[in-house]
Structure 1
Amino acid sequence: KGVVPFGAFFALFVPALISWLVPAVIISFTISGRSVPLERSNVRVRKGGYVVAAMLLSTIVVTVLLHHTLHLPPFLGMMLGLGALNLYSYFLHRHESKVFAESIPDSAQNDEFERRSEHREPFSIFNILRMVEWDTFLFFYGIMLCVGGLGAIGYLNGLSSILYTGLGYTTANILIGVLSAIIDNIPLTYAVLTMMPHMDMGQWLLLTLAAGIGGSLLSIGSAAGVALMGLRRDTYTFFSHLKWSWAILLGYASGIAAHIYINASTFK
C-alpha cells in the first residue's frame, strides 16, 4: 500500500538473521555428530530447467522495476512472467513430445528420466498448475474477504483503538507477531494495513519483522511448517516443534531488540 518503500526492508536483514541464528545455535548442540549416508547419483537438469529458473528470477526483477518505474501494480509483473512461462512451455512441450514420439535419446535429459517410463511425459505447465493446492488459495481469499468485511462494518477500527492506542505501537506490533503463530501472518498484516494506524517507519518495519518471524513459534503458524508436517508426518509434528518454541521465542525477542537498536533512527 505504499507505506514502506522496497529498499527499506533491507534494514531488517541483520535483525532477521539474528532471530534465526539464536535458535539455530541452541538447537545445533543437540544434533549428534553422526553423518547421514547419502546416495550419490549422476543427475542432470531436465531440458529447459535453467531457463525456467532464470525466468523466475527475471519475473521478480521485472515486477519490482515495473512497480518502481511505471508504478504498475505488482500482480501485472507476476502475470507477465506467468505468460512468458506459458509461452516457453508450449515450445518445450512440442520439443519433448517429438523426442518421446520418435524415441530419440535427448542428451539434456537426466538418466533417471530416460530409464523410467512413467516419467516420459512431455513438460506441461497445465499439469503443474493442476497440482497447486487451490484450497490454500481459497483460504487466503476467504480471509481477505472476512478482514475486509470486518473493516467495512467498523470492527477493525475498534480493534485498532484497543491495540495501538491502548497498548502502544511497540507492544501491539510484538503482540501481532505472537498472534501470527496461531493465525497466519498474511491476514494479520492485511488487517493492520486495513486499520492503517499512524506509525513511523520503524514501527511498520517492526510489524513486518514480528509477523514474519512470530509464526515460527508454532508449526501451524507458517505455510512452511504446515507443508513440512504433511511431508514428514513421522518425524515433524506439532509437539516436536513445540518443544523448541522457547528457543525460537529467544530468537524472536533478540531479533526485535536488534531492530530497535540498529534501526533506532527509523523510530520517531
Structure 2
Amino acid sequence: MHHTARKFSLSVTAILASLLVTLSPHTFAAVGSLDLTTSGIGYFSLVLFVIAYLLVMGEELLHLRKSKPVLVAAGIIWMLLGWVYTQEGMPHEAEHAFRHTLLEFAELMLFLLVAMTYINAMDERNVFDALRAWMIRKGFNYKTLFWLTGFLAFFISPIADNLTTALLMCAVIMKVGGEDKKFINICCINVVVAANAGGAFSPFGDITTLMVWQAGIIPFQDFFALFIPSLVNFGVPAVIMSFFIENKKPDALDEAVEMKRGAMRILALFLLTIVTAVSCHTFLHLPPVLGMMTGLGYLQFFGFFLRKTLPGSLARKRAIAESRGDQAALRRLGDVVPFDVFSKIARSEWDTLLFFYGVVMCVGGLGFMGYLALMSEVLYTGMGATVTNIILGVVSAVIDNIPVMFAVLTMQPDMSTGDWLLITLTAGVGGSMLSIGSAAGVALMGQARGMYTFIGHLKWAPVIALGYAASIAVHLWINADLFVK
C-alpha cells in the first residue's frame, strides 16, 4: 500500500469512530423553541449549506480543501441562530444546543483517535503488509484470488474498517494483476462491495453502524442479525462476476515482509480494546469512548515496554545476523526506531476531521431550526419507514452515507429495531452501487488509477443493485420479528 493511501485510510478510520459518538440520540433530536423553517434566516442557512456541500463535491476541480466551506457555513448558521434567539429573549437556548453538540463531537473525536492510532500502529508494525505478501507468494489463480480477496475484505472490514481493508486487498490485486485492466477492475469492484457489506454488520466496520450503536439505539450484539443479509449483498454480485474471470494463473512473486516486534501483541490489544469498549457500553451503560481511551492506555504501556526493551532486542538480533552473515538483516536493524504512539496520531488527515466537524455542526444547526423534523414527517410519516430507508440507501450512492445517517439519527423517527437495522444496512451498502458512493470506492479509484474507474464500476451497477435488493429481501424475511414494535 502506498504511504499516502495508508495515511488516508487511517484518518478516515478515526473519523468514522468519532462520528458515531457524535450522533447520540439526545444530541440532535431536540428542536429549538422557534420554528425557523419558513423564515428568511432558515432559507438562507439551507442555501448556504447546499452551496458549501457543492464546493465540497468540487474539491478535486477547485483544489479547495473540503473543510473550509463547511467550517464557514457552520459558523454562520450558529451565529444566526444565536442572534435570533437573543432577539427573542432566549439567549441561552442556542448556546446550550451548540455546547451539547460540541460535547458529543468531542466524544466522537476521542473514539476516532484511538481507532486510528491502533490501525496506524498495526500498519507501522507491517501487519497488513505481511498479509499482502503471504497472498502474493501463494501464486493463486485469478478466480481464487477474486474470491479470496473478496472474503478477506468481508471478514476483515468488521474490525479494521472497510476503507483500510479495501486498500489492503487492492494492493494485492494490483501486484498480481499487473497490466490486466479487466481483472483489476472487476476484482476492485468485488472488494468494494465486500468491504462495505462486511462493515454493515459490525459497529466497528463502518461509520453508519458505529453511529447507530453509539447512539444507543441498537445493542452491539443485535447488529449481527445483519450478517446473512450482508453476506447476500456481497455474494450475489460476486457469484455473477466470477463467471467473467479468466482461469489464468499468474507467476508467484517472491515478496517477503517481516512483521516488526510486537505486531501480533498490538493486534491482540486492539481486540481487547474493542472488548473493553463494548463491555463499558453493554454492561456498565457508559459511553464506548471510555473503553477506547482505556485501550489507548494499553497501547501506551506496551509502547513503553517496546522502547525499554529495544536495545536488548536489537543486540540479540544483530548478533544472530552477524553470525549468519545476513547483511540485509543488519541493514533492517539499522533502520529500527523506537515505537512512538503519538507519532501515529500526528499522521491524521486533519482536514477530513474538520470537514466532519463542519458537517455535523451544519446539520445540527439545521435540525435545531426544525428542518429535519419537517423532513422526518414528509418521509417517515408520509412514505413509511421501510420504503424511506430503502430509498435513502440508494441516495447514499450519490450523497455520502455519513450525512444521510446523521440526518436520520437527528430526525429520530419512531422505528422498530428491524427498520433501524434496515437503514444501517442500506446506508452502509447502498454506496457500493457507484464507485463514488463510498470511501472505499473513492480510495481505490486513486490507488488503481486507470485500472478501476467510475465507468468500469458503473457497468456492473445492475448486478450490484441486484445484490442490494436481495439483501433487503433477506433481511425483511429472516428478521421479520424485529419489525414489530
TM-score by length of 1: 0.90
Conserved? CA contact 1:42–1:111, under 8 Å: no
Aligned match of 2:422: 206
Partner-residue secondary structure (3-state), 2:415: coil
2:378 aligned to 148, 162, 181, which one? 162
| Equivalent of residue 435 in structure 2, options 219, 222, 229 | 219
**1:55–1:250 Cα change, 3 Å:** same
Corresponding residue number in structure 2 for 1:7: 221
Moved more, 196-205 or 220-229: 220-229
Give the SS at the match of 1:26.
helix
Q: What is aligned with 1:246?
A: 462
Deviation at 1:189, TM superposition (A): 1.3
Q: How does 1:11-50 map to 2 (within 5 A)?
A: 11-50=225-264
Match of residue 113 from structure 2: none
Cα offsets for 1:83-129 (capped at 9, x unmatched): 221221133134336666x6952879x99665347843333223322
Instruction: Give the TM-score of the pair, scaled to structure 2.
Output: 0.51
Q: Do the aligned partners of residues 29 and 147 (structure 1) sit closer, same or farther apart at CA in structure 2, a change above 3 Å counting?
A: same
- Asked whether the equivalents of residues 97 and 122 of structure 1 are also in contact (C-alpha less than 8 Å), the reply is no
Tell me if structure 2 keeps the 8 A contact 1:89–1:124: yes
Deviation of 1:241 (Å): 1.7
In 1, distance between residues paired with 2:262 and 2:357? 33
| Larger CA deviation: 223-232 vs 44-53 | 223-232
Q: Which residue of 2 aligns with 1:264?
A: 480
> How does 1:146-161 map onto structure 2 within 5 Å?
146-161=362-377
Provide the C-alpha distance between the structure 1 equivalents of 2:258 and 2:451, rounded to a whole number of angstroms: 30
1:143 to 350, 359, 366: 359
Q: CA deviation at 1:239?
A: 2.1
Identity %: 51
Q: CA deviation at 1:56?
A: 0.7
Structure 2 CA distance for partners of 1:179 and 1:245, relative to 1, 3 Å: same
What's the counterpart of residue 266 of structure 2?
Answer: 52
> Using the alignment, how far apart are the partners of 2:287 and 2:328 within structure 1?
42
The equivalent of 1:105 in structure 2 is 318
Q: Which runs of 5+ in 2 are unaligned?
A: 1-214
Q: 8 Å contact 2:303–2:340 — kept in the other structure?
A: yes
Provide the secondary structure at the position in 2 that maps to 1:120: coil
8 Å Cα contact 1:43-1:112 kept in structure 2: no
State the distance in 1 between where 2:346 and 2:362 align: 27
Cα 1:113–1:190 shift into 2, 3 Å:
farther
The 4+ residue runs of structure 1 with deviation greater than 4 A are 97-100, 110-114, 116-119
| Counterpart residue type for residue 155 of structure 1 | Y
The aligned amino acid for 1:2 is G
Change (3 A) 1:112 1:56: farther
Q: 1:93 aligns with which of 307, 320, 337?
A: 307
Task: Please report how far the alpha carbon of residue 16 of structure 1 lies from its aligned counterpart in structure 2 after TM superposition.
Answer: 0.8
Tell me by how many angstroms 1:60 deviates: 0.6
Distance 2:380 2:346 in 1: 43
What is the SS of the residue equivalent to 2:436? helix
Looking at structure 1, the residues matched to 344 and 351 of structure 2 have their Cα atoms a distance apart, in angstroms, of: 16
